[in-house]
Amino acid sequence: MPPAVVLLSGGLDSATTLAIAREDGFDPIALSFRYGQRHATELEFAARVARAAGVQRHVVVDIDLRPFGGSALTTDAPVPKHDRAEEIGGGIPITYVPARNTIFLSFALALAETAGARDIYIGVNALDYSGYPDCRADYLEAFERMANLATRAGVEGARLRIRAPLLHLTKKAIIERGLALGVDYALTRSCYDPLPTGESCGRCDACLLRRRGFAQAGTTDPIPYAAP
């Protein structure tokens, strides 16, 4: 099986993406980041998800995005909370981390190049998402084009692909797809602002979108929440 680099956060979307990469016939190399996120506990879940999926190589890269500031996920600025997913506003929210997906994909590109992989999976989706600019199809296409000019593989005629299999799926559809592929969502966490107890807050954008997805899929989210 050819190798593929899979960005793995420990969340629902990337766990599903990992299962899809396997289903597509790749040998996944998982790549996670310790970037100063307040929800760094997600890395433990990333390790569990990788183990459950039989991943042979899981690379965790340390980078520190905190000196840049500008995001509620890497500073002490409060994470916005709502009561219902429908209340999530338009525009780019404060949880947006400047250039985060670009930085993550750039490291994935370096790893792909050294591991001989031509495929990079990322679990972004453009429906039921938070309005981040770096989760859109035209952004991913532009990154792929740049990647093919940036690297040895691109110069030598190999074709690098950025694969975002969740891009046009609703959260409901993502969950249904993952369950069909045997993903154990009890091993995943999505919360931007988990409690010291380990419970997810239940009211940040990520929790609300996740819980609505499970409700719409007619199944139970197996993880603990603080808010009902």
**Does 114 interact with a second copy (rule: CB under 8 A)?**
yes
Residues 6+ apart with CB under 8 A from 96: 71, 130, 131, 132, 133
**Does 43 interact with a second copy (rule: CB under 8 A)?**
no
d(CA 106, CA 166): 20
**Minimum Å distance from CB 145 to a second copy?**
5
- DSSP assignment, residue 96? P
Total residues at interface with a second copy (CB under 8 A): 43
**Does 109 interact with a second copy (rule: CB under 8 A)?**
yes
d(CA 110, CA 105): 9
| Residue 30 burial by Cβ neighbours in a 10 Å radius (0-12, 13-18, 19+) | buried
Residues 157-216 that bind a second copy (CB under 8 A): none
Among 1, 138, 157, 197, contact with a second copy (rule: CB under 8 A): 138
Residues 58-97 that bind a second copy (CB under 8 A): 59, 61-65, 67-70, 92, 96-97
Q: How many CB atoms lie within 10 A of CB 13?
A: 30
**Does 99 interact with a second copy (rule: CB under 8 A)?**
yes
Among 134, 176, 205, 221, contact with a second copy (rule: CB under 8 A): 134
Q: Choose the binding region for a second copy from 150-158, 189-197, 208-216, 220-228 (rule: CB under 8 A).
A: 150-158
Residues 6+ apart with CB under 8 A from 16: 123, 166, 174, 175, 177, 178, 181, 183
DSSP-derived 3-state class of residue 163: strand
Q: Which residues lie near a second copy (CB under 8 A)?
A: 59, 61-65, 67-70, 92, 96-103, 105-107, 109-111, 113-114, 133-134, 136, 138-139, 142-143, 145-147, 149-152, 154-155
